Structure formats: C-alpha cells, structure tokens
Structure 1
Amino acid sequence: MNFNCTDRWMRADAKLKSLIPTIQQLYLSELDLPKDQQSPIFYQLFNALIRGAELLKKCENISPFNPYLRYRYALQILRLEQEIQGFMDLMPAHILLDSRKLKQELQDYYQELQPADMSSMLKESIFKQASLLTSDPASPDSMLLQQMCLDDSCENEGFNHSVHGIIPEKSQFYVGLEKPIRDLNMLLFQKEVSVVGLHCIGGGGKTTLALALCNDDDIKGYFQNVVFVTVSQSSNVKGLIETMWDKIIGVKRPEFQNVEDARMQLQQQLLCQSKSTLVILDGVCSRSILGKLLFEGRGYKTLITTRDISIIPQNSCTRLYQLPLLGQRDAQSLFCFWGFGQTSIPTNADASLVNEVQTGCKGLPLALKVIGSSLNGEPRAAWETAKKKLCQGEPISDYHKDGLLRCLETSISFLDDVARECFLDLGAFPEDKRICADALLHIWVYVRKLEWQEAFTILWELASRNLFNLTSNSRSAAAISYENASELYFSQHDVMRDLAIYLASQDHIINRKRLFMPRKEQTLPGKWELLNERPFDAQIVSIHTGPMHESEWFEMNFQETQALVILFAASEFHLPPFIKSMKKLKFLMVCNHSSKRATIEGLEVLSSLPHLRSVRLERLVAPNLQKQSNALHNLEKLSLSLCEGFGSASTFDYPKLHDFNMDHCSDLEELPPNICYMPSAHMWSITNCHQVHKLPYDLGNLSSLRVLRLSALPDLKELPPSIGNLGELEYLDISVCEALKELPEEIGQLKKLTELDMRECSRLKRLPISGCGLISLKHVICDKEIKTQWLWAKKISIPELRIEIVEAQFRSDWIDD
C-alpha cells in the first residue's frame, strides 16, 4: 500500500475505533429500557462498525499488484460508508459530528483504493470488453479473457507490469505445434490408417493441438469435412452420435430409439457416402464410450485425444502418437506470454528466477499458462514463493493426481480466501461444458453472500488467471452493466475442475462444505447411501446422473445446503424427494444435457423451500412450474432456457422477481397476461422464442424495469403502447424482430432510455416523431437503412447520440437444439 493510502487507512481506522465505545454504550443503555421502548438502531450501528473495523484490518495489507482485491475492498468500503449515512439522521447530536468525519474518511479511502485507472479498467473495460468475446468456446480463435492487471507505476526489484487490457489479436498463443501437426498429417494421410490416437497427460495440449489441426491447410485440403466433437467423462453417447450425424451427414436425422439404433443408422449412412471425413473425438476417457463412436466408411478417419493410452484399439489400422511436452525454448515463450504479455523474459525481470519458476512447470502447457497468468503483475516475493512450492512438488507423473494437481495448486495460492472459495465452487459444474455465468454468480451471491458487482469482479479475476475460460456473444456488455450475465458463459479444463474437486474434498465426506459428483453416474454414489442417515454439512451439492425415477432416490439429509446443481441426460427425470430437507436452499439449477427436452416430475417439492431465491431450468418440459408460483412467492431470479410447457400457461405469478429470463422456449406463443405483475422486476428478457407474436397489453405495468430484452422474436409484429409507461427503462433490445414494422408513438415517453439495440429489424423503416423525445439516449445500434432518421433526431434534440451501424450476421444463438 502506498503512503497516501496507508495514511488514509490509519485515519479511517482511528475514527472508526473511536466511535465504537460510544455506540456500544448507547446500545447497552437501550437494554435497560422496557422492551417496547427499545430501538434497534444502536445495536445495528454497533454491528456495522465492528464489521467495518474487521474490513479495515483486511485492507491494511492490500497488495498494490492486486487490482481486483483493491477494487473489491473499495466496494465494501463504499457500502460501509453508505450504511453509516443511513444511520446518521437517527443519531444523537453529540456523536453526529464524529460520524460525519468517519463518513468523510471512508469516502477518501474509497477514492484512494479506486484510482481513476482502476475505475476505468474494472467499470468500463470489464463491461465493455466482454463484448469482444466470441460465442464459440471451442473455436481456436476464441477471445478468452486475458491479463487484466494494471500498471500502477509500482516497481519491486525489477518486476513491474506493463500489459494493459486484452491482448489485441489473439488470446491464444500456440508454440511447439509445427512438428506434431506434421507428424499427425503423415499418419492421417496413410491410406491404410483409419484411427490415430493422440496421447499425453492431462494439460499437455491435446485439445489445443486438435483444434489447430482443424485449421491446418493440408488437413482442410485432404479432407472434405473436418468434425470436432468434445467427449467428456460425463458424455451422453446418443447425443454425441446425433451431433456427428448433423455435422457429417447434413440432412435431417431420424428419431433414434437408443444408442444402438443411432449407431446403426449413422454407420449405414457412412457406408453409402464417399466424402473424405476426419472426425476428432476430443477427451475420450472410456473404452466403452469410444467403441460406440468409432465408425467405418470410405475416406472416413478418426483422431482420438486421450490421457489414457489403454483405451486406444490395437490393430493394423490404428496408429498411436505420443505428444511430447514442450522443450525449453517453447516453454519459455508460452510462459512469458502469459506472465509478461510478451514471448521472452523482460529486460527488467530476474531471468534466473523466471527460468526457475518456468522449469518447475515441467514443460506442461496448462501449467505454463495458468501459473504464468497467476504471477502476471505480482511482486518478486510471489515469484519466490511460487518457485519454492514448485521445487517441493513431485515430478509430474503419467497421471496428474500427485504431480500436476500439486503443480497447479501453486496458481491459486495467490488468491485471497474469498476468491479461493469461489474457485472451489467451480467443481459443481462439469468440465468442457458451456455454462451460463449467471449460475455461478448466483451461487456466490446467495451462498458466499457477495454483492453482485464484487462477485463479477472475482469472476473476471479467475478468468484473467486462466483458471477457466469466459466467452460471450457480442451483446452481453449492456446486460452485464445492469448486473446480468445471462449471455456470458464459462467453461473449464477438466484438469482445473479436478483441482477444484481435489481441494474441496480434503475433509470427511460428511463434513465437506461441497459435495460433488465428479462425473455422471447412473445413480447416486454408493458412499452417499452408506452415510445417508447422517446429516451432511454441504452448503453446495452437485448431482450428475442418468434418468432417475422417484423410487430410485434414497433419502438424504441436507439441512445446510444452500445451492443445488442437478445435471442429467435423459428424456424423463424426477427431482429427488430429499430436496424437501433443504430448508435453507436459495439456488437451484436443473439442467438436462441430452439432445431432447426432458419431462420433469416432482416439482411439488419446491413448495417446501421458503428461502429459494434463484431457479435456473434448462432443456426441460415443465408444464407444472406455474402451479408452484404461489409456493415460490419469494423467488427473485428465474431463468428458463430451451424449455417447453409454458405455451399454455394461464398463470405466472412471481411478484418478487427481480430478474426474469426466458430463452429458446419453442412452444411459447403468447405470454400470460399476469406475467406483467412483477412490480420489483428490473431485468426482463424474452429471447429466441420464435413463435411469440404478441406481448401482453399490460407490459407497462413493469414499472421498475431498467432492462427489457425482446431479441430474436421473428413473429413479433408490434410493441404494446403501454411500453411508454416504463419510466425507469434504460436499455431496450428489439434486435432481430423481423416482423416488427413500426414503433409506437409512446416510445418517446421513455425519458431514461440510454441504449437502444434495433439491429436486423428489416421491416422497421420509420421512426415515430416522438423518437426525438428520447433525450437521454446515448447509443443506438441499427441497420444502415434507418441511420438517416437517427441522424436527424441527433441534430434536432439528441446531440450526444452515438449511432452504430451493424451488418446482418448469422448467430449460433438462433439454433434451438
């Protein structure tokens, strides 16, 4: 901490501690009064000051090299200052002056913790640059989050940071791939070879090499079709075969009865065609799964990536390629890219120390990337600590449990306690899956008790350290600004998930704060059943199974559970009856990973959850959810993605909802009228529901709405006039509403509207005259056909308006299944 910051901290700490005894005396004196005359004000203020003293103690040792922690503590200082402000009107006159002085010291300290460059990065760059991410996490050109540390003009024995923002051209930096690509090409081009196994330990770069191979010119010249399929530990085999059919055969697939039927029909099609095809099966870990995904055909070849060499078939048509770890030169280039933002050791760094840390990564690409990112911008002491820990670690063995995990544990040792707990929560979600970031953020908000903005800062910090990947579509930034990350997605490397599960599983299974199933199983683990009569301490529970009927669940006692993640792959699924024991449950996610929507039963257990605040349902048929609305009267956030069963909903009563998202609900035509009775809603999103042709007349009853997203509703013909009653609306998205011909005159009443996205509204040719009344409008995204009218409005009455013209583009979020 610099001198000024330390000085301000000491003054704020002194003021705070001088107030505590006085407030404590007043609080104790209140206890002498009759109960009906006691006021809770001094007790509440006393607790706030105690929390403030603890916070300032934590702030004392903030590193200037950790901008995320400084920003998070700044937010907490600001909340403390605002809390004290709330008490000031009720304070006796003799302590009011001291309180005002404390409030001013906290304000000064907040400003010191969050200088102008910090605010610029974490308030503007985080929100705005999120839109630079692509929507395809599997793409080798995906813009993954990068080093986001600041140059605070601080130096520490030669280690100062000079990388700003996101590295511009490519977030990935590939080294050491030229020879492996040539070697694989030689194997794949051999006429007698039909299967090539690519093997190395976890984190060795198999997926990176396979993705690079997809873009290799020689491969694209030799094969007419190159298909990349991710196969994880928890894969739905029938769904994988359906994906292969879609990408290889290219015609509408039939309804497969089961895995064997799907396999037989795809094999028949492959024998009838002669298109040269390379299928890459990435991350295969089971011989039985692999056996169901291998096919024959003229010109058909398969590349398998795996960490388990024993699953590769041994015959005359198969070749095995062992991917070597990186040599010294390539390892140094990769490490320096993530550690310094350049491909060599900076002149002002201690080359010997850098080389020792890099050598400790054993040439393993994942370790070089993650550990390099974790040390980006850190002082010399952090590098010395990393060197010591890496030197004490075991050599990386064939399997990563003892070697690689201990190596990678170094990468999270620089996280503070809160961020480390957040990292461990990642084990609740499967590897190599695209998961909505809102799900993770809601766990941190409701279980970790973080404010949303602080939780989002941690999300960004973990991504910047490459502990997981973040991707987004181009329109997420506006929603993120309003505390919604429904269009931001994360995915994690299987080894990083293994690390999270390994670290979260150190206690006895009964006492763990997190109870995770590492991979999909047909039923719950047998060890759980052996202990099912004892209460579990788990705050977060993650279950991953196949189809489950009511009779297949056994009773379990989860009295402490606050977050439950249920993942499955089936056409029918019954929620576990033991959910009713989760009286503290606040967050529930039910996600079906099969290719078709699943009928969900057992929703009535939700009626026994008085504290449930956030529900996320994906790829389900859940027609009875609306019947639970009376029981879910405290629900604040509801997200429905790829769900059916709401098209015939006659009631939809959730009066306390703040955030409502409905995406790709294919049978939805009209919204029930009372869906607009959400007086607390500030975020309302109906997107990619292709049959919606009409909105409720009473849309204007959503009086607290700040964000309204009505995107990709191609049959929507008009906006109701009552939209003019949305006096708090700041962001409106009507993009890709192709049937929309005009905007109602009442839209001019939206005096707080600052951003309007109306791209790809091809029939919308005219603006209403009232559009000139949108005096707060700062940004419009539109097609070039309507640009002239917005230029006229800018000239007449909206001088600060920025008009952004975009071209029509195909987006994957139109794809339903």
Structure 2
Amino acid sequence: MEDVKIFADTARKVLQVISEMKDQNVNFGEGLKRLEDTLKQVVPLFEEGRILDLESNDRKQKGLEILIEKLRKGEELLQKCCKVESWNICLKNRYSRMIINLDEAIRRFCQRELQVEIRRQKKQKQRDRNRDREKFQELLLRREGMALQQALNVGLFAIPELPDSVVGFGIPLKELKIELFKENVTVLGLCAPGGCGKSTLAAMLCQDEQVRGIFKDKIFFVNVSENPTTSKVLKRLLEEIGGGMPGSNLIEEDASDQFQFLRRQRDSEPMLLVLDNVWHESIIEMFLPRTQGYKMLVTSREIFGTYDSKYILKTLSHQDSMTLFCQTALSQGVNEAYEPDKDILNEIVRYCDGFPLTIMLIANSLSQQPAMNWRNMARKLSKGSSILDFDEKLRKYLASNLDSLGDTLREFFLDLGSFPKDEIIPASLLIDIWCELYELESEDAYVNLLNLASRNLVNLVGSWKIAMEIDANFNELFVSQHDLFRDLAIYMNRQERKRLIMDRREIGLPKSWRKQENHHLNTRLVSLCTGEMCSESWYDLQLPEAEVLILNFSACNYALPLFMRKMRKLKVLIIVNCGWTHAKLSNLKTVTEMANLKRIRLENVSIPSLREFTMPLMNLQKISLVMCAFGQALRKFTINVSSVLPNLVEVDISFCHDLVELPPWICDIINLRTLSITYCDNLSALPERIGFIRDLELLRLRACTGLLELPDSIFKLRKLRFLDISDCCDLKMLPDLMGELHCLKKLDMGGCLDLRTLPPSTMNLVHLKEVICDEEAASLWEPLSSRMKITFLRKEHNLDWLGVDIGHLS
C-alpha cells in the first residue's frame, strides 16, 4: 500500500501550495477551488483505506502511479502559477486549463475505484447473508404456522385494532380500494388533516377480506411517526419477507439497497406496505421500488409529489357525526335523566365540523355528565365560543398539523383566522394582504397558498388552473377552511397577540378595549366584524403598527372608524359588506390621510363621490371593486387623476352590474399596467380614449356580455401583452388595426360565439404565442398555427360556490 501513502502525502503538499497561493492573492478562478475541494475529499479516502486492493492488480497500480506523477507535475504547475504576472492573460488561461485537467483526472480515477470497492463490499455482504440463509429460513417456516390475523397484529408491523363499529367509512373504503387496485398505481396517498381518521381507514383496508385475499400475509403496517428512522423498519421488513437476518447491523442505505434488490427478485409477489402518518417525502422514497405486485399506501397530512394517485378523505356528514357522537357518549348506558335532547346534540355536533377525533373527544368529555353540562356547552357554542375551548388535548392535536410548517407558512395560516366563519375568501384578497405584509411578489404568495392547500389546511375552490397562468388571474379562485382550523388560528392569535381579530358583534366593540392595557399596540393585522356602525360606536384605538385593516360588516350604512387616521403604516384596506343591499360609507376623509396605503378593496358598497377625496393617495397602487354600485358618482365627476392617484398601476372591477361605461378619467391613468373588468354584464362600451393608457400590459374583459365592440384606439396600446375577451358573447369583431399590438403574446377569446372573422392585420401579430378559443374558431388562426399554440378551453362558470346571490344586486 506504499503508493496509496505516496498519493496522500503528495496531495497534502498540493493543498499546502494552494493555501499559500490564497495568502498571496493569486487567483486562478474556479478551477483552483475545484481542485482544492476534490483533494480535501479524496485524501481521507486514501488515509482511511477506502481505496483498497490497488497493489493486487497491475492495471490499477499502474493507474495510481500515473496519477501520482500527474499530481507531482501539478505541484510544479502551481509553483509556476505563483510567478505569473497579472497582465499575462494567455498564460493564466493555459495554466487554468491544466489545473482543470488535473482535477478531472483525479475525480475519474477515484470515482472508478470507489465504485469497484463498493461493489466488492456488497458482494462480500451478500456472501455473508447467504451463509446465514438456512438459519433464517427456519425462522420463516416457524412464522408460517401463525394465524393470519395474529401475524397482522404483532410487533413493529401491527395493524391498529379497530373499534367494534366504525361510522361513515363504508364508502371511503370502497373508493380507496378502487384506487389501490388500479394497475398504474404503486404509491397511493391517503390525505387529510389530522383527526379525520386516516389511520382508521388504512387499518380497515388492511383487514378487508378482498385485500387480504390478494396480499395474504405480506401486509405490513408501519406507524412512521413512532418510528422516525427508516433503518429499523427496513431491517425488520427484510426479516419478514426473507431478505435479511434478525439483528443484522445494516446501515440505512444498505438496507434500502437490499430491499429494492429483493423486490426485483420477487417481482410478481404481491405485497402491501402501509406507511402511516408520514411527515417527509424522503421517507417514502426509501421504499419506492416499482415492481409488479408491490403496492404502497401512505397516509399523510400533506399531498406529496411521489404519489401516483391520491385519495382525499373528507370529514363526516352531519348524520354520521351524530351517530358517532351518540355511539361514543351514550354507549355506557347512562341514565335517561342525563341524556340531552336532540336539539342540544345537534348544536354540539355541528361545531365538531365532522372531525371523528373531535367528535369522540368531546363525546367522551360529556359522557355521564348531567344534562346541565350539555346545555351549558351548547349555549356557549351558540354565543361564539369554540369547541377548542373545551378540550386542551384537542387543541394540542390540531396544532400538531402546523408542526411541519416553516415560519412564513405558519404566519399565512394564522392570517386565515381573520375572516368570518364559513366565509369563502377570494384568493386575490389574500394575495393582496400577503404581498404587502410579507413583501412578496404575487406569484410567491400564490405558491404559499398552494402549499397550505397541499397540507389540507385550506381548500381551493374555482379556477385554480387559470391562476397558474402567466397573467396571474386570481379573481376566480377562492379559499375555504374547516371551522376547526379557523378556530385554531384564532386561539393561537390570542396567545401571540400579533393580530387583533374580533368575531361578529352587533353592538360595537368590547368594553374591555376601552382600557389602555388591552390595546394591541404591536398588532400588524386588524380584522373587525360588526353590524351597522356610526362614528360614535368606535373607540379611539391605538394601532400604530397596523399594516392591514379588514372591516367586515352587514349594514346599509357604515361609518369608517376615525382611529384609522392614526394608522400611519396602513398598507391594505379591505371593506366588505355581507348585507343584502349596497352599503353607504361615511367618514371617507380618513382614507385620504393614510399616506402609505397601497391597496384598497371594496365589496358590495356604493361607490362614493370622489369629492370627499381631498388629498392625493400618493402610494396607492391597486383598487379592487367587487359587487359595487357605481351610480353617477364616478361617471359625472371629473378628476385630475395624475395628481390624486399618481402611482396607481392596477384597477380590478368585478360583478358590478350597474357599470354601463367606464368613467373617462380612467384613460388618464398613464401608469396603469393592469385593467381587469370581469362579469360586468351591462358594460356596453369602452372609452375611445383607452388607447391613451400607454403602459397598459394586461386588459381583461372577461364575461362582459353586453360589450359589442372594442374601440379602434386599442391599437395604440403598444405594451399590451395579454388581452382577455373570453365569454364576451355579443362581441362580433376585433378592431381593424389589431395587428398593431406588436407586444401581444396571449389572446383569450374563448366563448366569443359571434366572433367568426378576424381583421387581416392580425397576421402581423408576430409575437403572439397563444390563442385560447372555441374549437370552431381555431380555423381563423390556421395561417399562424405554425408559430403559436392554439388552446381549446371549455369553461363552466358556476357561481353557486360564491355563497352570494349575485342576482339581488342587479
């Protein structure tokens, strides 16, 4: 092994020269750094004997001798590098290439010999295992005499015992089996938040007669949360299926290699591995060999990308929840005098939100309690208390759903507690908040929303695929949340005091807020849900750090709180009226005094006269108007928009049914980049001066069914890159000079049923990359089909999930 020692000594000398070169500020770029890193990695391999058996093979020994000689020349080369003048670029380049060649030679040699050594070690391990095979086979034969049910419920792979009666899982079990037995599914994910019964359903699957008939005694159930390291599981799994010896001292990587090799050897042998309560995708990958007959069922709170298919377990229906509650609470033969009436039962069960764990914990807490305790809980729940207030164990368990979240994602989750119960939250609203509160781009905020959805902490409703496009349309995407998770967010917010959240109150603010010590001076987000409020109803709250204010109410008249004037850091103002008529706002002058305000969103309110806006909103960048009434307030009033709104870049108007025409001054917002007008069915025309908005990049006119034509001046929008006229079903033609939109990259004209001709100038749209249209209209774009994508998109606009009767606002 003399040559091995010589190589190591020579390499250390080279490293010493490199260190001296650094001290002298001799710079030979990335090649020198790579050589240093390579030597630091390979020298220990030689010193520790990882490069073996070189002298027993003449070819290998000769290769090492050549490498040592190259290394010695490399040492001489580095000495020369120290003497090269900084101006001699040609010589520096030549020496740099020589350093890179030396590095690559060392890497090739070591990689080749290490791989040979690893194969040699594995062959030796295989020989060791084969010597012990007979002993292990004897153990397996003894196990075969065990009853199947007993084998399924012993030791590490024990399947959890099921209760005598499981409620509400009959249909989910059938649906889960259908997914599992699909030929192209190897890894099936069973996903849901904690407390929904994933482990119970997985255990039911393992004990199902049809499943046992296929996999027989090769069903293995592992609770991963109780066995966080996979090496122990892999070793025991190898013992069970005949690929390893009990107590063998395998590292995790070797065990994984053996497991994958054994599965390939037994390709057609049916086997079901259940990994229960998995938190990290890397654990799944250790068990991933895709061979015939092998199936994996993984239960997790998060939807991992490793899954071939996924089954989302829903919460129980109210009827099944009632059955489970009664079965749990009343199964011990309580005295009839203690039994609550059905109305009280309904009230309590409704607040359990269909979570089996919640139902059973609350039912057990009330079991054998007097009827007075049941009535007291129902009364408190009806007055706004949370079911979490009654069980600390339940709070801790639900909070464990957040353990895998990073700090930022956890803050996003807690922000969701700022909205009223059962409310469908517009994704665009959340993204407005998160962009300003955490200084993010809208795409980054949207990715975090998707991460919450993948962990089953929120549900996404609507056109989430559209929101993934480059035009970032979030207007048709909505977010819903289980009430229990909302309650959890509120409970945690009360502990941390970073957010001030007030649930629905009809009679103003809590009296305790009058006291200075209860003011939330460091609160960054404020959410107040009230009834009708006048100026006198508000207290003089001190909220100097607030950056987001959400005012959610149900009223015909609503006075904005005067304490807003002191919210100097406010960036986002959201005003939402949940009532049946448009609300009239007062105290609007307070808005003009917030110099840092960047985004305003108004829902279901009457747009006021702009005369009240006496001071410019210098930093306002976005205005969103949803289901608002315009009347004559904006159309008849003229405004010097360049001085009042100098930095406005986005206007978003949706579901405003009395919007007949845009106010002319919108065309004077020269910095406007996005103009989105959707589902405004009475909008009949755009201003002819719309071409004056020089910086406009995105114009969305989706489902403006009364729009008959586009103004000719649209050709002046030389920066326009996306035009959305989808579902403008009365639009019959495009402007003649449409081809002048040289920056246009995407056009959505799906649902434009009467648009059957194109102006000749459209052939000049050289940068157009995608057209979305109905199949019948595809032939119009045939001359350009060779250089762009034509997408047929079938959209179904169903507004039932909005939770709002849009018709009453007409």
TM-score range, shorter-chain basis? 0.5 to 0.7
Say whether residues 1:448 and 2:438 are aligned partners.
yes
Shift of 1:622: 2.5
Of residues 781, 784, 789, the one that matches 1:794 is 784
Matching of residues 596-675 of structure 1 within 5 Å: 596-625=581-610, 627-628=612-613, 630-645=615-630, 647-649=632-634, 650-651=637-638, 653=641, 654-675=645-666
- Residue 679 (structure 2) aligned to one of 658, 667, 688: 688
Alpha-carbon distance in 1 for matches of 2:279, 2:388:
35
In the other structure, the counterpart of 1:335 is none
Instruction: List per-residue Cα deviations over 1:22-51 (Å, max 9, x = no partner).
Output: xxxxxxxxxxxxxxxxxxxxxxxxxxxxxx
- Report the equivalent of 2:792: 804
Distance 2:744 2:724 in 1: 11
- Counterpart for residue 700 of structure 1: 691
> Which secondary structure state, in structure 1, belongs to the residue aligned with residue 509 of structure 2?
coil
Offset, 1:175: 7.9
Partner of 1:411: 401
- For the 8 Å contact 1:201–1:399, the answer to whether it is kept is no
Identity of aligned residues (%): 33
Q: Which stretches in structure 2 are left out of the alignment for 5+ residues?
A: 1-21, 23-85, 88-276, 290-295, 325-340, 358-374
User: What letter is aligned with 1:693?
Assistant: S
Instruction: Quote the offset at 1:786 in angstroms.
Output: 2.2
Could you tell me how far 1:483 is from its partner in structure 2? 4.5
Q: In the aligned structure 1, how far is the partner of 2:453 from the partner of 2:525?
A: 22
Letter in 1 for 2:544: Q
Q: 1:493 to 1:449 in 2, by over 3 A?
A: same
Query: Could you tell me which amino acid in structure 2 is paired with residue 489 of structure 1?
Result: F
The answer to whether the Cα contact below 8 Å between 1:533 and 1:557 also exists between their aligned partners in 2 is no
CA deviation digits over 1:335-394, x for unaligned, max 9? xxxxxxxxxxxxxxxxxxxxxxxxxxxxxxxxxxxxxxxxxxxxxxxxxxxxxxxxxxxx
One-letter amino acid matched to 1:737: C
Residues 781, 804 of structure 1: 8 Å contact kept: yes
Displacement, 1:701? 2.4
- Mapped to 2, the partners of 1:563 and 1:721 lie a distance apart of 41
User: For 1:422-571, what aligned pairs fall within 5 Å after superposition?
Assistant: 422-473=412-463, 476-477=466-467, 481-507=470-496, 512-531=497-516, 536-571=521-556
**Pairwise CA distance, 1:641:** 0.3
Tell me the secondary structure at the aligned position of residue 579 of structure 2.
Answer: coil
Q: Aligned partners of 2:684, 2:306: CA distance in 1, in Å? A: 41
| TM-score normalised over the length of structure 1 | 0.53
1:265-292 alpha-carbon deviations (Å, 9 max, x no partner): xxxxxxxxxxxxxxxxxxxxxxxxxxxx
Change (3 A) 1:711 1:475: farther
RCO (CA 8 Å, sep 6+): is it higher in 1 or 2?
1
The one-letter code matched in structure 2 to 1:442 is D
CA contact (8 A) 1:200 1:206 kept: no
Aligned letter for 2:401? S
2:586 is equivalent to residue 586 of structure 1: no
Please say if 1:180 is aligned against 2:320. Answer: yes
Seen in structure 2, the aligned counterparts of structure 1 residues 167 and 486 have a Cα distance that, compared at 3 Å, is: farther
Letter aligned with residue 579 of structure 1: M
CA shift at 1:149, angstroms? 11
2:742 is aligned with 1:751: yes
Seen in structure 2, the aligned counterparts of structure 1 residues 659 and 487 have a Cα distance that, compared at 3 Å, is farther
- How far 1:803 moved relative to its partner? 3.4
Cα displacement (A) at 1:486: 2.8
Secondary structure at the aligned position of 2:409 is classed as: helix
> Is the aligned partner of 1:735 residue 2:723?
no
Q: Secondary structure at the match of 2:505?
A: coil
Deviations 1:136-155 (A, max 9, x none): xxxxxxxxxxx999967985
Cα distance in structure 1, aligned partners of 2:381 and 2:526: 34
Q: Which moves more between the two structures, 200-209 or 679-688?
A: 200-209
2:559 maps to which residue? 574
Distance 1:573 1:201 in 2: 35
Q: Give the direction of change, closer, same or farther, for the CA distance of 1:765–1:648 in structure 2 (3 Å limit).
A: farther
The 1:183–1:563 alpha-carbon spacing in structure 2 relative to 1, beyond 3 Å, is closer
Aligned CA distance change for structure 1 residues 468 and 801 (closer, same or farther; 3 Å): closer
Q: Distance in 2 between matches of 1:148 and 1:692?
A: 52
CA distance in 2, matches of 1:811, 1:533: 42
SS at match of 1:438: helix
Greater share of residues in helix: 2
C-alpha contact 2:619 2:647 (8 A) present in aligned 1: yes
**Kept in 2: contact 1:598–1:619 (CA 8 A):** yes
CA contact (8 A) 1:198 1:206 kept: no
Match of 2:26 in 1: none
Question: For 1:170-319, what aligned pairs fall within 5 Å after superposition?
Answer: 172-174=312-314, 180=320, 198=346, 204-206=352-354, 309=378
Return the letter of the residue paired with 1:801: K
Q: Does 1:723 align with 2:714?
A: yes
* 8 Å contact kept, 2:381–2:387: no
Distance 1:772 1:558, change over 3 A: same
Matches of 1:167 and 1:646 in 2, distance apart?
53
User: Aligned partners of 1:643 and 1:783: how far apart in 2?
Assistant: 31
Paired residues of 1:148 and 1:464 also in contact (CA < 8 A): no
Compare 781-790 and 160-169 and name the one that shifted more. 160-169
Letter in 2 for 1:761: C
- Map 1:280-429 → 2, pairs under 5 A: 309=378, 400-429=390-419
The count of aligned residue pairs is: 483
Which whole-Å CA distance do the structure 1 matches of 2:630 and 2:807 have between them? 15
Q: One-letter code of the match for 1:452?
A: S
1:173 partner amino acid: L
Measured in 1, the distance between the counterparts of 2:319 and 2:658 equals 51
The whole-number CA distance in structure 2 between the counterparts of 1:658 and 1:161 is: 49
Residue equivalent to 1:137? none
- State the distance in 1 between where 2:318 and 2:657 align: 45
Secondary structure of the residue that 1:495 maps to in structure 2? helix
Distance in 1 (CA, whole Å) between partners of 2:432 and 2:376 is 34
Q: Counterparts in 2 of 1:769-788, with a 5 A limit?
A: 769-788=760-779
Q: Matches of 1:811 and 1:178 in 2, distance apart?
A: 25
The whole-number CA distance in structure 2 between the counterparts of 1:153 and 1:208 is 27
Is this contact kept in 1: 2:773–2:791, CA < 8 A? yes
Flag structure 1 segments of 5+ consecutive residues without an equivalent.
Answer: 1-17, 19-92, 95-146, 185-192, 210-305, 314-395
**Residues 732, 166 of structure 1: alpha-carbon distance in 2 compared, 3 angstrom cutoff:** farther
Structure 2 letter corresponding to 1:206: G
Matched-pair contact (CA < 8 Å) for 1:397–1:403: no
Please say if residues 642 and 665 of structure 1, whose CA atoms lie closer than 8 Å, have aligned partners that are also in contact: yes
Note closer, same or farther for the CA distance 1:309–1:624 as it changes in structure 2 (3 Å cut).
same
Aligned amino acid, residue 707 of structure 2:
L
Post-superposition shift, 1:678? Answer: 2.6
Which shifted more, 152-161 or 766-775? 152-161
Partner-residue secondary structure (3-state), 2:453: helix
Tell me if the contact between 1:641 and 1:663 (Cα under 8 Å) persists in the aligned partners.
yes
Letter in 2 for 1:180: D
**Structure 1 position 689, deviation (Å):** 1.6
Distance 1:167 1:433, change over 3 A: farther
**Amino acid in the other structure paired with 1:420:** R
- SS of the equivalent of 1:634 reads coil
What is the TM-score normalised by the length of structure 2?
A: 0.53
CA distance in 2 between counterparts of 1:815 and 1:495 reads 28
Deviation track 1:618-677 (CA, whole Å, cap 9, x = no partner) reads 000132357428522321111000111354413462331222101112222111222022
- Distance, in Å, in 1 between the alignment partners of 2:376 and 2:350 is 6
Whole-Å Cα distance in 2 between the matches of residues 688 and 708 of structure 1? 14
Conservation of the 8 A alpha-carbon contact between 2:461 and 2:478: yes
Larger radius of gyration: 2
